[in-house]
Each structure stands twice: as C-alpha cells, then as structure tokens.
C-alpha cells in the first residue's frame, strides 16, 4: 500500500491543508464569538488573544498554501492533455461532463476568494489584539469574513472531493 | 437649569466594556483605516478575479494570454493578477488610510457588495453565459 506523488500531493492539498482549515475554523469562530467583556477575564484575555492571533494567521496561511498547491501542483495533473487525465475522462462521457464544466470550473475559481477573506479576518484580530473585545463591530466583521472564507472553502472542498470520487488524480 | 450628574459605570464593568469607545468618550486607540483597507482589498481582489474569469471566458485570445504556465493554463494568470490586485490595493489603501478613521459600516457594505459580485462572477453557470463561440 503506497501513494504515488500525484496521490500524495492530492492528499496534502485536500486533506492535510484543506481539512486542517475546515477543522481549525470551528475553534477560530468559537474564539471570536465568545470574545465578549462579560465572558473573558483580564487574565484570560492575553492568552485568548495570543491563541486567536496564532489561530487566525495559521488559517489564512493554510488557505494560501491550499490554493497554491491546488493550482500549481495538483491542477496540472488534473487537466493534462492525455486520455487518462481526470479532465479528459470526465469530458469523454456525457454523463460526467458536468463534473468538469460545472464542479471543477466553479471550484478552481471560488477557492481563491477564501484566503483573501481569511487574511482580512486575521488582520483585524492581529491589528486590534486585546482592543478587539471593546470593538464589537470589528469582532463581528472578523467573524463574517471568517465565515465567508469557510463557505468558499467548503464549496471548493466538497466539489473537489466529489470530483476525486468520479475521476481521481493518480 | 440643573445639570444632571454623570452616571457612574457599574463597578463590575470595565470602562467602555460592551460599547463603542465613541459612545463612552474614550478616544480610539488605533485608527480603523487600516482595517477598512484590508477589508476593501479582499473585496477588490475577489472582484478582479471574477472579472478576469468572465473576460477569459468571453475571449479565447485573452484566456490564452493569461496562460503564463502551459501546465496550469489561464487559471495561472487569473489568480496571479487577482492576488496582485489584492495586495496592491491593500498596499495603496493601507497607506492612504493608515492614520484615518473611516465609517467601518459603510466600508463593510461596499466590501460585501464587491464580494457578492465576485461570488456571482466566479459561479460557473454565470460566467459560462459569456462563453466565446468556437
């Protein structure tokens, strides 16, 4: 049982990086949601903000790595102009054409919106630091951006998983 | 006319807790201009991506011109220029707004509009309406 390099990078792109973001999102959102004066003590604030800063920066970095690895490493194998490439296989059968023309075409573009939104959310957290607890609008804005990034990442991730099920990169 | 005495804050609450600083008379520690710049830049970068996707769909020659890498195809140029627009606009807006207070609600509405347009523009059934005839 072993993975070739194509399968390995597809795994890194989809599971290790993409999956890590989807898992980390819940923690980040919960941290921002509960960042309210009545819920956090002064002593807990320093630790909370350090964790939130590291977490949101990590999420943004992970998303950038995910889209860069997806576009520049995995995608070329997907679209290779050979009969055995996933794109060729999907387009060869009228029943699976939509997996490329709808799913892949949507996924490859919407995915790139996610890191821009996550970076803006991370910037808000890092910029305001402990002052974020007093600026509830900025806190909600960071949450909104993070949720937007999550929605884009989920759409791209789910479509990617379904496409891989139909025609994996091997 | 008798002046009303100031209402003291509750002893358990920190000054300004739960309320914007402007409402409790505390000067903002940091201007919100840089935050406005970061949010607007995300909207601009997203929208530029969507515009490039639509134009590339409508023009084969334009799509070919974006294929900086033969292996990646036009997606290379679309994403590179979107990131350039994102970082460039962040740099310019961040510099212009670095000491300024902006209306963050208005900025948020504008950015949300840009992002919504970007989501529509990158939705395959929408941008494929502009597909060039072969």
pLDDT (average), residues A124-152: 95
Q: What is the pLDDT of residue B133?
A: 75
- pLDDT of B4 > 50? The answer is no
What is the pLDDT of chain A when averaged over all its residues?
93
Cβ contact A71–B18 (<8 Å): no
pLDDT (average), residues B107-134: 94
- pLDDT of B6 > 60? The answer is no
Kindly report which listed range (B17-21, B63-67, B85-89) carries the lowest average pLDDT score: B17-21
pLDDT (average), residues A84-108: 96
Kindly report which listed range (A13-27, B57-71, B104-118) carries the lowest average pLDDT score: A13-27
Whether the CB-CB separation of A25 and A146 falls below 8 Å is answered with yes
Q: What is the pLDDT of residue A170?
A: 82
- pLDDT of A151 > 50? The answer is yes
Number of Cβ pairs < 8 A linking chain A and chain B? 108
- pLDDT of B132 > 90? The answer is no
In chain B, what residues touch A135 (CB-CB under 8 Å)? Answer: 20-21
Residue B80 burial class via C-beta count within 10 angstroms: exposed 0-12, middle 13-18, buried 19 and up: middle
B20 domain residue, yes or no: no
Distance CA B124, CA A4 (A): 31
Using the Cα atoms of residue A106, residue A112, residue A118 and residue A120 in order, give the sign of their dihedral: negative
Kindly state the percentage of chain A with pLDDT values over 70: 100
Cβ contact A128–B104 (<8 Å): no
Q: What is the pLDDT of residue B134?
A: 62
Choosing among A112, A114, A148, A155, which should be mutated to test the B contact, i.e. which has the most B CBs within 10 A? A112
Whether the CB-CB separation of B115 and B73 falls below 8 Å is answered with no
Cβ contact B18–A36 (<8 Å): yes
Residue range(s) defining the domain that contains residue B116: 31-130
- pLDDT of A46 > 90? The answer is no
CB-based contact (8 Å) between B78 and chain A?
yes
Of B13, B72, B86, the CB nearest to A71: B72
Using the Cα atoms of residue B96, residue B100, residue B104 and residue B109 in order, give the sign of their dihedral: negative
Q: What is the pLDDT of residue A42?
A: 83
Q: What is the pLDDT of residue A16?
A: 92
In chain A, what residues touch B39 (CB-CB under 8 Å)? Answer: 120, 124, 141, 145
Beta-strand runs (E) in B10-134: none
In chain A, what residues touch B9 (CB-CB under 8 Å)? Answer: none
> Considering only alpha carbons, which residue of chain B is nearest residue A69?
B72
What is the pLDDT of chain B when averaged over all its residues?
85
B26 domain residue, yes or no: no
pLDDT (average), residues A112-124: 98
Residue A7 burial class via C-beta count within 10 angstroms: exposed 0-12, middle 13-18, buried 19 and up: middle
Domains identified in chain B, total number: 1
Of A71, A136, A141, the CB nearest to B108: A141
B89 domain residue, yes or no: yes
User: What pLDDT digit, counting tens, does each position of B20-54 carry?
Assistant: 544 444 545 789 999 999 999 999 999 999 999 99
pLDDT (average), residues A111-126: 97
B3 falls in which pLDDT band (50, 70, 90)? Answer: very low
Q: How far is B27 from chain A (nearest CA, A)?
A: 12
User: What pLDDT digit, counting tens, does each position of A56-84 carry?
Assistant: 999 999 999 999 999 999 999 999 999 99
A23 falls in which pLDDT band (50, 70, 90)? Answer: confident
Give me the residue label for tokens 């993070």.
A146
B124 domain residue, yes or no: yes
Of B39, B50, B127, the CB nearest to A141: B39
B14 domain residue, yes or no: no
């Amino acid at each position: 049982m072993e993975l070739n390099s194509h399968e390995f990078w597809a795994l890194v792109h989809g599971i290790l990086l993409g999956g890590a973001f989807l898992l980390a999102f819940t923690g980040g959102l919960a941290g921002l949601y509960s960042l309210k004066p009545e819920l956090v003590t002064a002593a807990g604030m320093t630790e909370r903000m350090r964790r939130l800063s590291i977490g949101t920066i990590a999420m943004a970095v992970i998303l950038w790595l995910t889209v860069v690895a997806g576009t520049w490493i995995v995608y070329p194998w997907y679209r290779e102009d050979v009969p055995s490439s996933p794109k060729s296989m999907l387009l060869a059968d009228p029943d699976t054409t939509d997996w490329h023309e709808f799913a892949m075409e949507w996924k490859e573009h919407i995915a790139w919106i996610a890191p821009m939104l996550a970076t803006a959310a991370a910037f808000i957290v890092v910029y305001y630091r402990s002052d974020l607890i007093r600026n509830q609008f900025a806190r909600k804005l960071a949450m909104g951006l993070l949720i937007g990034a999550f929605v884009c990442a989920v759409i791209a991730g789910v479509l990617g998983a379904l496409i891989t099920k139909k025609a994996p990169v091997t | 006319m008798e002046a009303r005495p100031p209402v003291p804050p509750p002893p358990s609450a920190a000054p300004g807790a739960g309320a914007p600083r402007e409402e409790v008379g505390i000067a903002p520690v940091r201007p919100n201009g840089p935050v406005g710049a970061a949010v607007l830049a995300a909207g601009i970068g997203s929208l530029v991506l969507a515009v490039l996707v639509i134009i590339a769909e409508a023009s084969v020659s334009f799509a070919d011109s974006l294929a900086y890498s033969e292996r990646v195809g036009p997606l290379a140029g679309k994403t590179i220029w979107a990131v350039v627009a994102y970082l460039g606009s962040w740099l310019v807006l961040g510099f212009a707004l670095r000491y300024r207070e902006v209306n963050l609600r208005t900025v948020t509405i504008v950015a949300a509009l840009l992002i919504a347009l970007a989501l529509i523009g990158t939705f395959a059934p929408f941008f494929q309406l502009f597909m060039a005839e072969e």
